[in-house]
Structure 1
Amino acid sequence: MNLRDDSAGQDAADISVREYAPARSVPLDDAAGRALAASGVLESAVPDPYRTGHWLLRAGSLVGAVRVPVPGTGRSLTVRIAPKTPVRRLFFLLGFSLDPAQAWRRGRDGTVDSGAYDDVVPALAHAVERQLDAALRQGVLQGYRQVEESALVVRGRIREAEQIRRHFGRTPPVEIAYDAYTADIPENRILRAAAETLLRLPGVPGPVRRRLAHHRVRLVDAEPLVRGHALPAWQPSRLNARYQPALRLAEVILAGSSPEHRPGELRLDGFLFDMNVLFEDFVTGALREAAREHGLTGRLQDRHHLDTARRIRMRPDLVIHAADGRTPVAVVDAKYKTEKSGVYPNADLYQMLAYCTALGLTEGHLVYAAGREEARVHEVRGAEGLGGRGIRLHQHALDLDTGPAELLTVFRGLAALVAGTDSRPGS
C-alpha cells in the first residue's frame, strides 16, 4: 500500500483527505474509526496495522464535506474531501450536468459561479446564494395551490364526504377545499430547503452564511420539507423561468446532502459530489450537444439487450443515432477513473465490444478523465461490423486541467469523428 503519513498536527475532529489519494494514517479512536467506516463517505477506513490508535483513511469518488456523528459519544467528525480537479473546473462540469444546452451555448463562460473559493463547500454555498439572489430579486414567486382544511366560513367548495364523516353533517366547522394564491409552492419549498441545508454545512464562509439566512427569511412562507421524503415536483414554465437555474442547483444540493443513499443508520449533515456521476454527465451532455451540430441525436442510458432472448440488459452511457433518430452510429461510455497503475482497464474494452456487437456498430468510444494517457485505437480481431468492416474501439483521454474552451474543442472533434467528417488519418 502506498502510505503517506501526514497526520502530524491533525485534529481528529476535523479530517482532510483528497479524492483517490494514497491512504492517510490519522489518529482516531475505535469508535470514531468505526463511525467513519459505517458512514460510507470514504472508500476505505481501516485500523492502521503499524500504528496503534491510528486509522488508514482513503477517499474515493465522493468530494465535499460532511459531519459524521460518533454514536454513544456526543462527538462528531468533520470530513473534508478535496477533489483532484480544480474547484473552478469542477463547477464548470456541474454547469453541464445542470443544463447541457445552455452550457454548450455559453462555451468558455461557466453557468455556475463558484466565486474565488478553492474549497468545494464554500464555492458551492457561494454559487447557491448567487442563484437564490438572482431568483428572488424580483420578489418571491407565488402560485395556486389546492388547500383542504376545516374553517368557520365557507370558501371554495364544501367537501361533503369529509363533512359527513367528521362532523355528521353539522356546521360549523366546514370541511372546504379551495385554490390559494400563496408562496407555499414546490419551487419555494425546494429553495428554502437548499438554503437550510447549506446553513448546516461545515465550512460555509460567514458573509455567505448571512446572505443565505436572509434568503431563508424571505422564503419563510414556504413549508419546510420533511427529511427523507421525495422532493416536491415542479414543472418548468414561463412563470418560473427566473427560478430554474436556482432550482436545478438546489436539487443537486438536496440530492448530495441526503443520507438515504448511503449505507448505515447514521444521520449525516453535509454535501458530497460523486465525481464518477459528474464526469459521466459532463461527457454525455457535452458530446450530445456537439453531435447535434452534425444533425445527430444522442440518447442517454439507451436500453438494449445483448442476447436474442432479451435477457441480458445493456445501458450504455450514450448512443448516438443518425438523423432519422433510429439508426445507431456510435456508442460512448465515460470512465472517470483508470486502474491504480494509471493504464486503461481491459475490462472496459470488453464491455465496449459487447455494446458494438449488440448494436451492429463499427465504432465504439471510451472517454477517460486521464490527461497523461494517450488516445488509442484498437482494431478487434475476427470482429465484423456493418459493411464487413472490423470493429474499432477508441480510448480518448480528456484532460480536465485544460480550460473550458479547449475541453469543448475536444468534444467537437469527437463529434466530427462520430459523424464521419473528421479529416484526421485513420478516421
Structure 2
Amino acid sequence: MQPVVVREYARLTTAPLAQNTLDAAHIAPSAFNWLVKLGQQFKANGLQLLQLDDQQWLRLDNYVGVLESPCGQVIEILPKHRVESECKQSARKLLRKLILNAMQLKQRETEQTDIERFDAPLPEWLMAQFLTELDALVKRGMRFDYQRVEEPQRFLRGQLDVVKQLRQPAGRAHIFHIRHDIFTANRPENRLLKAALVKVCKTTQDNDNWRLAHELQSLLHELPASNDVQSDFKAWQTDRLMAHYQGIKPWCEFVLSQHVPLAVQGQWQGISMLFPMERLFESYVAAKLDVAAQRMPGMQGQVNTQLSSKFLCTHQGKSFFQLKPDLQLKLGDERWILDTKWKLLDASDRENKYGLSQQDFYQLFAYGQYYLGGAGTLVLIYPAWQRFTASSELGEFYFNDQLRLLVLPFDLEAEESAKNLILKLQQGIKHKLQLHG
C-alpha cells in the first residue's frame, strides 16, 4: 500500500481521485474508518484530530507527524508553512528541525542520515536516526548488569536454596536448587531497544535501513525483546552509568509509538507520532529567542516560557481563569510579553483584518494589563511566508497611549530570525526614549 503524504488541514477520502496532492488524497476505506475512530478518541479527551465532512471525506486538523493504520496505510502529515507550490522536501526538512528542537535532540551527523541528503519519508527518517544511535551504542558497548537466577541444576553453583532442597523428593536428591547471579544484557533498556529494532526490521522499506537493521539484529539475536513496553520505559534508568543511553531513548520512543497524544486502541503497534503544530512552533521560537537574547551584547537577556502567576479575576477568595502567555523576553530592565500563533497571515488583506483574530487581541490585552501593568509592548509572532515578511509588517496596534501590540513574522528557515526580532524590539526602546527625551 502506497504511503500518503499530505499537510495540515488536508482532506482525505475513500472516493477515487485523479491524483493525490498535499491538500487532498485517497486512502483505503479501512484506514478511513480507523481514522474516524481515532478522531473520536481524541475528541473524548478534548483534542481535535479531524473533522468528518461526510461518509467519504474527512479534514485533518493541525497535528503533524505520521500515522500508520492496522491495514498498513501510512499517512505522513507535514506542516503547512506555504500555500503555493509547496514541495514535500522543504516541509519535511522543517518538520524534522522542529521535532529535533522540541525533543531537545541532537542529530548524529553521518553520511547515511544527513538531513540535507537523506530525503526520505518521515517514518524512514525516524528509523534511520534510531539505527544510527543504536549502531553507535553497540560499538561503544551495551550496559550489562547482574541478575539473580533461581533454578534447579545437577551441579552446585552460587548459593544453595536449603528450604527447597529439603523439600526435594527422594527420587530427585541429585538435583540442586541454587541461586546465583549472571552478568547479562537482559535489562529493560536493552529489551526496549531490541523491540524497536525488530519493529524496524519488519517495517523499513529503505535499503540502507534494512541492511543496517539486520546487521544489528544478528549482533543482538540472544537479547529478548520487551513484552511490556510501558513498564520497561518506566524502569529506564538515568544514572551516570546509563548516560550514553540518553541519546537513543527518544528515538526508541518514536519507533515504539510513545509520542502519540492518545493511546491507540487495539493491538496494532504501527510507527505513529503526532505533534500539535502550534506547540512545535512555540517551542522553536522560544529556543531561538533564548539563545539570541543571551548573545545580545551589553545586555543580560532571558526568555521565560509559560508564565502562570496571574489570574483574570477572583471569586469568593479564589483565583479564576489563569493567564498563561507563551513567552516573556527580558533585556536588561526592559521586558515584553510574547505569544506565538501558528497561522498564515496575509499582509495585503486589510479588509479581512489580515487574518488576525479578535479573540487573540482580547487575550493579549489581558496579558498587558496583568503582566505589564497596562504599559509596555506586547508581541504576536506568526510564521513568515510569501504574504507576510519583514518587509510587509503590519505596524503597531495601540490599545491606549501606553500599551501597544506588535504583530511580527518569524522566518523558520532563516537563522537570524530571532536576532532580527529582538533588534526590532530594541528599536522600539530607542524610539520611546527619543519621544520622552
TM-score, length-scaled by structure 1: 0.69
Letter in 1 for 2:382: Y
Letter in 1 for 2:408: H
Matched length:
371
Q: Which has the higher contact order (CA 8 A, sep 6+)?
A: 1
Instruction: Name the counterpart of 2:252.
Output: 250
Instruction: Name the counterpart of 2:135.
Output: 133
Instruction: Name the counterpart of 1:58.
Output: 59
The question of whether the paired residues in 1 share the 8 Å contact of 2:304 and 2:329 is answered with yes
Choose 59-68 or 279-288, whichever is displaced more.
59-68
The question of whether the paired residues in 1 share the 8 Å contact of 2:343 and 2:382 is answered with yes
Gaps of 5+ in 2: 16-26, 43-48, 81-89, 169-175, 347-351
SS at match of 2:336: strand
1:329 aligns to 2:335 (yes or no) = yes
The question of whether the paired residues in 2 share the 8 Å contact of 1:44 and 1:58 is answered with yes
CA deviation profile, 1:354-395 (whole Å, cap 9, x unmatched): 22322226232222224232444544324xxxxxx7222222
1:47 aligns to 2:49 (yes or no) = no
CA separation in 2, counterparts of 1:226 and 1:345? Answer: 46
Which has the greater radius of gyration? 2
CA deviation profile, 1:258-314 (whole Å, cap 9, x unmatched): 5x7157658451223423332222122222222222423333333323235433223
Instruction: Name the counterpart of 2:237.
Output: 234
CA separation in 1, counterparts of 2:243 and 2:268? Answer: 34
* C-alpha RMSD of matched pairs (Å): 4.4
Instruction: Name the counterpart of 1:52.
Output: none
Letter in 2 for 1:310: S
CA deviation profile, 1:235-279 (whole Å, cap 9, x unmatched): 264x55544333343334445555x71576584512234233322
CA separation in 2, counterparts of 1:354 and 1:154? Answer: 73
The question of whether the paired residues in 2 share the 8 Å contact of 1:63 and 1:83 is answered with yes
CA separation in 2, counterparts of 1:378 and 1:225? Answer: 58
SS at match of 1:281: helix
User: Structure 1 residues 417, 370: CA separation in 2 closer, same or farther (over 3 Å shift)?
Assistant: closer
SS at match of 1:116: coil
Which of residues 317, 335, 342 in structure 1 aligns to 2:326? Answer: 317
User: Structure 1 residues 68, 36: CA separation in 2 closer, same or farther (over 3 Å shift)?
Assistant: same
CA separation in 2, counterparts of 1:29 and 1:92? Answer: 30
CA separation in 2, counterparts of 1:217 and 1:426? Answer: 68
Instruction: Name the counterpart of 1:79.
Output: 75
Letter in 1 for 2:237: W
Which of residues 163, 183, 186 in structure 1 aligns to 2:185? Answer: 183
Letter in 1 for 2:282: E
Letter in 1 for 2:398: V
TM-score, length-scaled by structure 2: 0.67
SS at match of 2:194: helix
CA deviation profile, 1:114-134 (whole Å, cap 9, x unmatched): 342242222222233223223
Instruction: Name the counterpart of 1:269.
Output: 270
Gaps of 5+ in 1: 1-12, 49-54, 70-74, 383-388
CA separation in 2, counterparts of 1:169 and 1:412? Answer: 77
Instruction: Name the counterpart of 2:34.
Output: 35
Letter in 2 for 1:317: D
How far did residue 187 of structure 1 move? Answer: 4.3
**Identity percentage over the alignment?**
19
